[in-house]
Structure 1
Amino acid sequence: MMKALIVIDYTVDFVIGKLPCGQPGIDIEGRIAALTERFVADGDFVVMAVDLHDEANFYHPENKLFPPHNIKGTDGRHLYGKLGEVYQADEEKIYWMDKTRYSAFCGTDLEQRLRERRITELHLIGVCTDICVLHTAVDAYNRGFRIYVHADAVASFNPAGHAWALGHFAQTLGAEVIEGY
């Protein structure tokens, strides 16, 4: 079975910046980096799905819900911590994909790139568990992918939302929520 790792929004703004997960996001840094290194070393398709916003886009729906974050050209869009080092070391083996909505599928070529490689299994890590990871998982489910969410490599600024999303992945989307891999 062909698999891919989708690393969702693990950036400075989402860990310690404009819309931070804070300590829960910091705590998963090593696991995020290790999983990314492992998938790259195994020759699997690895995607950095990274929020991209433009401060001048007043009509984006998130502007009413969240403070400006992951603004084009700012340090907030940089990958956080060790993940930035992993990306720099293996940049030619990792697909960087800008996204402008919660789901990594919405308005991107992600599905096409996965289908071209005959990928059927998606491993999801990153932040926020109950927003961008959740919406990506729902879209993956609706497209027929087998979903794995690494519980030790997802985090949110909302502890109740994080816990709810972990249950939803398994109970409603049939995802396998795994610790350690």
Structure 2
Amino acid sequence: MNKALLIIDYTNDFVAEDGALTCGEPARNIESRITSLCQKFVEEQQFVILAVDIHEPEDVFHPETTLFPPHNLRGSQGRELFGALQKVYLAHKDEPYVYWMDKTRYSAFAGTDLEIRLRARGIEELHIVGVATSICVLHTAIDAYNKGFSMTIHSDAIADFDAKGHLWAIQHFRQVLGGTVVQD
């Protein structure tokens, strides 16, 4: 079965200590695991998708504008991948199996060509990592479920703003979406 690694929103704004909408220390603690998984998938030449939130400055029509402070603004340092993941990406960004994808909604499937790219490669299994567990990771997993993909959530490679929301989402992945939750 072809598989893909889907890395969601692992950017400076969501992870760095001074990020505009940081998940804090829990997000920084998963850096080595996310980077390790990315490196493994790259070495196996498996499809790696970096689904990265993008916002325009002062976009009054985007629904998140009233929910969250400005974050992941186009062209900002906050939108760059965090830490060692940025180095791995830059070393492999021109490979045909590494794909940077802008997203404007919580789900990486909403308004993007993600499903088309996965189907074109015969991918049936998604490995999902990133932030925030109870928002973008969850909404992406729900859409993956609704589109018939099997999924593995790496619980040691996801993080959230809220510990209770994080744990609730992990249970939801298992009990409602039928995902496999692993921790290596």
| TM-score bracket for the superposition, by shorter chain length | over 0.9
Distance in 2 (CA, whole Å) between partners of 1:25 and 1:18 is 14
Distance in 1 (CA, whole Å) between partners of 2:71 and 2:146 is 28
Q: CA deviation at 1:43?
A: 1.1
Q: Which residue number corresponds to residue 124 of structure 1?
A: 128
Q: One-letter code of the match for 1:72?
A: R
Q: One-letter code of the match for 2:60?
A: F
Q: CA deviation at 1:112?
A: 0.1
Q: One-letter code of the match for 1:178?
A: V
Q: One-letter code of the match for 1:150?
A: H
Q: CA deviation at 1:39?
A: 0.5
Superposed CA RMSD: 0.6
Q: CA deviation at 1:56?
A: 3.0
Q: Which residue number corresponds to residue 172 of structure 2?
A: 168
Distance in 1 (CA, whole Å) between partners of 2:52 and 2:85 is 13
Q: Which residue number corresponds to residue 11 of structure 1?
A: 11
Distance in 2 (CA, whole Å) between partners of 1:72 and 1:58 is 15
**3-state DSSP of counterpart to 1:92:** coil
Question: What's the TM-score, normalizing by structure 1?
Answer: 0.98
Equivalent residue runs for 1:55-66 within 5 Å: 55-66=57-68
Matched, 1:67 2:69: yes
Identity of aligned residues (%): 57
**3-state DSSP of counterpart to 1:141:** helix
Distance in 2 (CA, whole Å) between partners of 1:89 and 1:31 is 18
Q: One-letter code of the match for 1:119?
A: I
**3-state DSSP of counterpart to 1:149:** strand
**3-state DSSP of counterpart to 2:176:** helix
Q: Which residue number corresponds to residue 151 of structure 2?
A: 147
1:81-136 per-residue CA deviation (whole Å, 9 max, x = no partner) reads: 01001101111231000000000000000000000001000000000000000000
> How many residues are aligned here?
180
Distance in 1 (CA, whole Å) between partners of 2:56 and 2:160 is 23
> Structure 1: which 4+ aligned runs deviate by more than 4 Å?
none
Distance in 1 (CA, whole Å) between partners of 2:43 and 2:133 is 25
Distance in 2 (CA, whole Å) between partners of 1:112 and 1:43 is 19
Distance in 2 (CA, whole Å) between partners of 1:145 and 1:92 is 26
The runs of 5 or more residues in structure 2 that have no matched partner are none
Q: Which residue number corresponds to residue 97 of structure 1?
A: 101
Distance in 2 (CA, whole Å) between partners of 1:137 and 1:92 is 27
Q: Which residue number corresponds to residue 35 of structure 1?
A: 37
Equivalent residue runs for 1:98-113 within 5 Å: 98-113=102-117
